[in-house]
Chain A
Amino acid sequence: MLRTLMAAGLLTSIAFAAAQVNVYSHRHYAADKQLFETFEKKTGIKVNVVKAKADELIKRLESEGENSPADILITADAARLHLAKSKGLLQSVDSAFLNATVPAKLRDRDGRWFALTKRARIIVYNKDTIDPGELSTYEALTEEKFRKKILIRKSSNVYNQSLLASIIANDGEEAARKWAEGMVRNFARTPRGNDRDQMKAVAAGFGDIAVVNTYYVGKLLNSRKINEVAVGKKMGVFFPNQEGRGTHINISGAGVVKHSPNKDNAVALLEFLLSQEAQRVFARANYEYPVNPEVAPSKLLQSWGAFKEDDLPLNKLGENNAEAVQIFNEAGWR
Chain B
Amino acid sequence: MKSIPSRWVVFSTLLTLTLLLPLGVIIYNALGAQSETLAHLKQTVLNRYITNTLLLLCGVGILSFLFGTLGAYFVTFYRFRFAKFFSVVLVLPFLIPSYILGFIYSDLLGFFGPVHMFLQGLGITWYFDVLQMPTVVILLSLALYPYVYLIVRASFAQNSAALLNPALSLKAGYFRIFYKVILPLSRPAIVGGLSLVMMETISEYGLVKYFGVDTLSTAVFTAWFGLGDIYSAAYISSVAMLIVFALLIIERFNRGSARYKSEAMQQPLQKRRAGPVLSIFIVLFLSIPFLFGFLLPFAWIVKYAWIHAGEVIDREYLQIVLQSFSAAAVSAFAVVLIALILGYSARVFQTPYMRYLLKAATLGYSIPGAVIAVGILMLAGLLDTFFIATFSLDGLVLGGSLVLLCFGYCVRFLAVGLNSVESSFEKVGSGVNKASRSLNKSLLQTLLRIDLPLIRGALFAGFILVFIDILKELPATLILRPFNYETLATKTYELAMNEMVQESAIYALSIVAVSIIPILITLRSYR
A residues engaging B (CB < 8 A)?
7, 9-12, 14-15, 22, 28-30, 48-53, 55-57, 59-60, 62-65, 67-69, 83, 154, 156, 161, 189-194, 196-197, 200-201, 203-206, 219, 223-225, 227-228, 230-231, 321-322, 325-326, 329-330, 332, 334
Q: Given A12-B400, A83-B228, list of 8 further CB < 8 A pairs?
A: A9-B395, A12-B401, A50-B483, A51-B490, A67-B384, A194-B210, A201-B129, A205-B127
Q: Which of B401, B484, B490, B502 has the most CB of A within 10 A?
A: B484
Residue in contact with A156 in the complex, picked from B218, B382, B482, CB distance below 8 Å:
B218
B159-195 near A? 1/0 per residue, CB < 8 Å: 0000000000000000000000000000000000000
B384-409 toward A: CB 8 Å interface, digit per residue (1/0)?
11001000011111011100000000
Partner of A14, one of B378, B380, B484, B502: B484
A206-B127, A326-B227 given; A196·B499 CB < 8 A: yes
Select one of A56, A223, A224, A334 contacting B373, CB under 8 A: A56
User: Complex formed: what's the CA distance from A189 to B382 in Å?
Assistant: 46
- Whether B484 lies near A49 (C-beta < 8 A) is yes
Known: A228-B112, A322-B228. A334 touches B212 (CB 8 A): yes
Collect the chain B residues with CB atoms within 8 Å of residue A14's CB: 482-484
Most chain-A CB neighbours within 10 Å: which of B113, B218, B499?
A: B499
Let me know if A63 and B483 touch, CB within 8 A. no
- Contacting residues, chain B, for A197 (C-beta < 8 A): 110-111, 131
Interface residue from A50, A51, A59, A231 paired with B400 (Cβ < 8 Å): A50
The CA-CA distance from A65 to B384 in the complex, in Å, is 10
Picked from A11, A225, A321, the residue with its CB within 8 Å of the CB of B226 is A321
Contacts of B3 in A (CB 8 A): none
> Do A11 and B212 contact each other (CB < 8 Å), given the known contacts A60-B377, A325-B222, A329-B45?
no
Instruction: Please report the C-alpha to C-alpha distance between residue A55 and residue B228 in the assembled complex, in whole angstroms.
Output: 10
Which B residues fall within an 8 A CB radius of A? Answer: 40-41, 43-45, 106, 110-113, 116-117, 127, 129, 131-132, 209-212, 214, 218, 221-222, 224-228, 370, 373-374, 377-378, 380-382, 384-385, 388, 393-397, 399-401, 478-479, 481-485, 490, 494, 497-499, 502
CB–CB A53/B395 < 8 A:
no
Chain B residues, Cβ within 8 Å of A228: 112
Query: With a CB–CB cut-off of 8 A, which chain A residues contact B382?
Result: 63
B227 touches A325 (CB 8 A): yes
Given contacts A15-B395, A48-B484, contact A329 B41 (CB under 8 A): yes
* Contacts A9-B395, A64-B381 given; does A192 touch B117 at CB 8 Å: no
Q: Tell me whether A200 and B112 are in contact (CB under 8 A).
A: yes
Instruction: Write out the residue numbers on chain B whose beta carbons fall within 8 Å of the beta carbon of A156.
Output: 209, 218, 221-222, 226
Distance A123 CA – B479 CA, assembled complex (angstroms): 34
| Minimum CB–CB distance for A115 against chain B, Å | 21
A67 is contacted by which of B212, B395, B478, B481 (Cβ under 8 Å)?
Answer: B395
Q: Which of chain A's residues have a CB closer than 8 A to the CB of B497?
A: 28
Cross-chain contact of B483 among A49, A193, A223 (Cβ < 8 A): A49
Ordered by A's residue number, 23 sampled pairs between the chains whose C-beta atoms are within 8 Å are A11-B396, A28-B494, A50-B483, A51-B490, A55-B225, A56-B374, A59-B374, A59-B378, A63-B399, A64-B399, A65-B381, A65-B385, A67-B395, A67-B396, A156-B221, A193-B211, A196-B499, A204-B112, A205-B127, A230-B112, A321-B226, A325-B227, A330-B44
Which 4 pairs from chain A and chain B are nearest by CB? A192-B212, A63-B381, A48-B483, A55-B225
Q: Which A residues lie within 8 Å of B113 (CB)?
A: 227
CB proximity of A11 to chain B, nearest CB, Å: 5
Q: Given the interface contacts A64-B396, A156-B226, does A12 sit within 8 Å of B482 by beta carbon? A: yes
Contact B479 A204 (CB under 8 A): no
Expressed in whole angstroms, the Cα–Cα distance for A201 and B227 within the complex equals: 29
- Closest A residue to B382 by beta carbon equals A63
Cβ contact within 8 Å between A192 and B112: no
Contact of B498 among A15, A28, A59, A227 (CB under 8 A): A28
* Chain A residue, CB-CB nearest to B209: A156
CA distance A325 to B225 in the complex (A): 10
A193 in contact with B131 (CB, 8 Å): yes
Residue of B nearest to A286 (CB): B498
Q: How far is the CA of A219 from the CA of B141 in the complex (A)?
A: 33
Q: Contact at B399–A231, with CB atoms within 8 Å?
A: no
Minimal beta-carbon separation of A190 from chain B (angstroms): 7
- CB of A224, distance to nearest CB on chain B (Å): 8
From residue A298, how far is it (CB to closest CB) to chain B in Å? 17
Contacts of B395 on A, CB cut-off 8 Å?
A: 9-12, 15, 67, 69
Residue of B nearest to A332 (CB): B44
**A111 → chain B closest CB, angstroms:** 24
Complex CA–CA separation, A223 to B112 (angstroms): 13
Whether the Cβ atoms of B112 and A67 lie closer than 8 Å is no
Q: A51-B494, A325-B227 are in contact. Are A56 and B212 (CB under 8 A)?
A: no
In the bound assembly, the distance between CA atoms of A326 and B482 in angstroms comes to 35
CA distance A227 to B484 in the complex (A): 35
A55, B212: Cα distance in complex, Å: 20
B236 to chain A, nearest CB (A): 13
Question: Would you give the shortest CB distance from A100 to chain B, in whole angstroms?
Answer: 32
- Contacts of B385 on A, CB cut-off 8 Å? 65, 67
Q: Is the CB of B214 within 8 A of A334?
A: yes
Q: Chain B residues with Cβ under 8 A from A68's Cβ?
A: 396, 399
Which residues of chain A have C-beta atoms less than 8 A from B110's C-beta?
Answer: 197, 200
Identify the interface centre among B116, B400, B482, B483: most chain A CB within 10 Å of its CB: B483
The residue of chain B having its C-beta at the shortest distance from the C-beta of A224 within the complex is B502
**Alpha-carbon gap, A257 to B427, bound state (A):** 55
Pair B127/A204 contact, Cβ less than 8 Å: yes
Task: Give the distance to chain B from A243, nearest Cβ to Cβ, in Å.
Answer: 32
**Considering only CB atoms, which chain A residue lies closest to B107 in the complex?**
A225
Question: Which A residue sits closest to B222, measured CB to CB?
Answer: A156
| CB contact under 8 A between A203 and B111, given known A7-B394, A14-B484, A50-B400 | yes
Determine whether the beta carbon of A193 is less than 8 Å from that of B212: yes
Is the beta-carbon distance between A56 and B479 smaller than 8 angstroms?
Answer: yes
A227 to B483 alpha-carbon distance, docked (Å): 38
Residue of B nearest to A190 (CB): B212
